[in-house]
Amino acid sequence: MKELYNLAKNLKALREQYGYTLKYVAYQIGITYQSYHAYERGLTVPTLQNFIKLAKLYDVSLDDLIEE
């Protein structure tokens, strides 16, 4: 479950680095604000499709999203 914690932490850090709001990121990947917020809180995991969208949005690899 360490990867889930890393994912949540990395998503929040990337969003803040880019200056995006939770609602903006959710809109960009086509999900609700609440669903995206659950990713950042480590409550749920993105689908593979949303994982790819997030990596593209932040211009990082899928590995970068889950690594420490």
What domains, with CATH codes, occur in the chain? 2-66 (1.10.260.40)
pLDDT of residue 56: 97
Helical residues (DSSP H) of the chain, grouped into ranges: 2-18, 22-29, 33-40, 48-58, 62-66
pLDDT of residue 39: 95
Q: Are 29 and 57 in contact (CB under 8 A)?
A: yes
The pTM assigned to this predicted structure is 0.90
Q: Is 40 helix (H, G, I), strand (E, B) or coil?
A: helix
- pLDDT averages per 10-residue partition of the chain, 68 residues: 82 97 97 96 94 96 90
